[in-house]
Amino acid sequence: PAGQGDVPDAVWDRIKDHPCFSEEAHHYFARMHVAVAPACNIQCNYCNRKYDCANESRPGVTSERLTPEQAARKVLAVAARIPQLSVLGIAGPGDALFDWRRTFETFRLVGEKLPDLKFCVSTNGLALPDHVDELARHNIDHVTITINAIDPEIAAGIYPWIYFKGKRHTGIEAARILLDRQMEGLERLTAKGVLVKVNSVLIPGLNDAHLVAVNQAIKARGAFLHNVMPLISDPAHGTRFGLDGVRGPTPAEVKAVQDSLGGGAHLMRHCRQCRADAVGMLGEDLSAEFTLDKLPEAPV
Ligand code: SF4
Ligand code: SF4
């Protein structure tokens, strides 16, 4: 089918109805995100939590932070209005697995009422190895891990610190822990048959030449897709933590890196468009119609 790229047939069968993967499906199915994960356990130099983790760094409207109960009410209200709703993503605006109780409670509440809805989770990977079993228990369609480097020296220029097991780590040590945990999480998820895609933020001068090595490492561990997203330079927010003067890549630079990874990248263009409270078909955003004040009090 059109848009299959380098995805193996068996994997394609599992994702072809997913609006974020199939050009075709995105005309017929809708997805939504709920912003139940405000906190993050690492700092990325490019972060802007107005959008979902790592997915977008344009300035924009701050999304509502929802409790799992509020999120479930919102999902039910949206599902009642948009019958094509097929996917619920939890991807931020912080890390979906740092405050994992909120994420899994949301899936539990929603899953009770809408057993056919598929879930997806996006994470920086630091907490991932602790939650592989729980993720596999839910109706998880796939997990996205943002992996920007496999070399701690390069990663140290992207992540100033991490918070791990009650302690803050910085520099190369922080980078080593994070990269080890990302690889461990990836391996264990794919071993369980969970589909894992990897997002990488292309940061000119930092990891552009390195993404080929990242691609090899993640494919060797079973990731089914590698999505390269451009760093979006934002004078108001993007330089806050140490990417001073770093510009976003040009479309030609993004394409050159995507091409060097062997195709398939066109499948993934949609994912980074997602706001933390995105609602609707891809390319449309109905989130303003489903703000908290407009939801019914009790579950529908
Ligand atoms: Fe921001 Fe995501 Fe990085 Fe956390 S992992 S600092 S939410 S971009
Ligand atoms: Fe999941 Fe990404 Fe699609 Fe959102 S845009 S539903 S995170 S695949």
Preceding amide of 160 cis, omega within 30: no
45 CB near ligand 1 (under 6 Å): no
Edge-to-edge strands of the sheet including 42-43?
A: 42-43, 161-164, 167-170
How many C-beta neighbours within 10 Å does residue 280 have?
20
* For residues 20-37, average pLDDT: 80
85 CB near ligand 2 (under 6 Å): no
Using CA atoms, how far residue 46 sits from 195, 201, 208, in Å, is 26, 9, 15
* For residues 217-238, average pLDDT: 79
CA 117/CA 115 separation, integer angstroms: 6
In the prediction, which pLDDT does 300 show? 45
pLDDT in tens, 240-257: 445 666 778 888 988 888
Residues contacting residue 252 through CB under 8 Å, at least 6 positions apart? none
More confident residue, 21 or 137: 137
pLDDT in tens, 57-89: 333 344 568 899 999 999 999 999 988 899 999
**Which of the four pLDDT bands, split at 50, 70 and 90, describes residue 56?**
very low
In the prediction, which pLDDT does 112 show? 95
In the prediction, which pLDDT does 259 show? 83
Q: What is the ipTM of this complex?
A: 0.89
Amino acid letter, 102: R
Tokens of 33: 């995100």
95 CB near ligand 1 (under 6 Å): yes
Tokens of 227: 């999505």
53 CB near ligand 1 (under 6 Å): yes
**Which of the four pLDDT bands, split at 50, 70 and 90, describes residue 2?**
very low
Q: Which of 133-137, 146-150, 263-267 has the highest mean pLDDT?
A: 146-150
In the prediction, which pLDDT does 79 show? 93
Least confident stretch, 173-187, 197-211, 265-279: 265-279
Q: Whose CA is nearest to atom 1 of ligand 1?
A: 47
Ligand 2 centre from 139 Cα, in Å?
15
For the chain, helix, strand, coil in percent to 5 are 35, 20, 45
In the prediction, which pLDDT does 283 show? 64
| pLDDT > 70 fraction of the chain, expressed in percent and rounded | 79
| pLDDT > 90 fraction of the chain, expressed in percent and rounded | 45
In the prediction, which pLDDT does 242 show? 57
Residues contacting residue 94 through CB under 8 Å, at least 6 positions apart? 37, 38, 39, 40, 49, 53
Q: Per this entry, what is the length of the chain? A: 300
CA 116/CA 112 separation, integer angstroms: 10
Amino acid letter, 206: L
User: What is the full DSSP assignment across 79-148?
Assistant: HHH-TTEEEEEE--BS-TTTTHHHHHHHHHHHHHH-TT-EEEEEE-SSSGGGGHHHHHHTTEEEEEEE--
pLDDT in tens, 34-43: 889 888 999 9
* For residues 38-60, average pLDDT: 66
Whole-number average pLDDT of the chain: 82
